[in-house]
Amino acid sequence: MPFADRLPRRIESRNWIRRAWDLLSGVPGGKVVFSRLVGRLAPYTGSIHATVTVLRAGYAEVAMPDRKSLRNHLDCVHTVALVNLAEFAANMALGYTLPDDARFIVSGLEVEYAKKARGTIIAIADAPIPRTAARATYDVTVALRDSEGDVVARVTSHVLVGPKPGSTSDRGDVN
């Protein structure tokens, strides 16, 4: 079932990421609740058990605890878990900024691994701020840092933004 089909129609017509974060982030445990909600709606994202710790227009920080299930045969965090974390952070940074009538989909990822990742990894995403739902591609940069502050990977997420179907700015589909 497509992600948008899981949302009630009244939520789908708004920027639910921004609304949910703004509602939950200020209450005790709200950041964890928000992160688990995203993980329920996007189960693969939820599989890394990451928590959004900072979210504002064009910026996100997401923490992923080190867990045995995320490690590879070299006893470090698996590269796919790192990419999943980077995509999560990028999507939150961009998604928070979108106009209510816009939606997005990742169209590509570029990854550069710098060193083995161990311990809690923090993804720091910087995203442009789309002002309209007009169809356009944006690049979101993400730095993944270990607990020492060292960069373990850099990711660029290429994201296609466009209008939601049925919106007044609908000039094509984001597939």
Confidence category of residue 166, pLDDT binned at 50, 70, 90: confident
Count how many domains the chain has.
1
Q: Is residue 168 part of a domain?
A: no
Q: Is residue 164 part of a domain?
A: no
pLDDT at 172 over 80: no
Q: Is residue 165 part of a domain?
A: no
pLDDT at 12: 54
Q: Is residue 11 part of a domain?
A: yes
Q: What is the pLDDT of residues 71-129, one digit of tens each?
A: 999 989 999 999 999 999 999 999 999 999 999 999 999 999 999 999 999 999 999 99
Q: What is the pLDDT of residues 8-38, one digit of tens each?
A: 544 456 899 999 999 999 999 999 999 999 9
pLDDT at 138: 98
Rg (CA), the chain: 16
pLDDT at 3: 52
d(CA 40, CA 115): 31
DSSP 8-state assignment for residue 77: B
Q: Is residue 16 part of a domain?
A: yes
Q: Give the range of the structural domain holding residue 82, as residue numbers without chain letter.
A: 3-96+117-130+142-152
Q: Is residue 163 part of a domain?
A: no
d(CA 175, CA 168): 18
Q: Is residue 170 part of a domain?
A: no
pTM for the full predicted model: 0.87
Look up the CATH number of the domain holding residue 34.
3.10.129.10
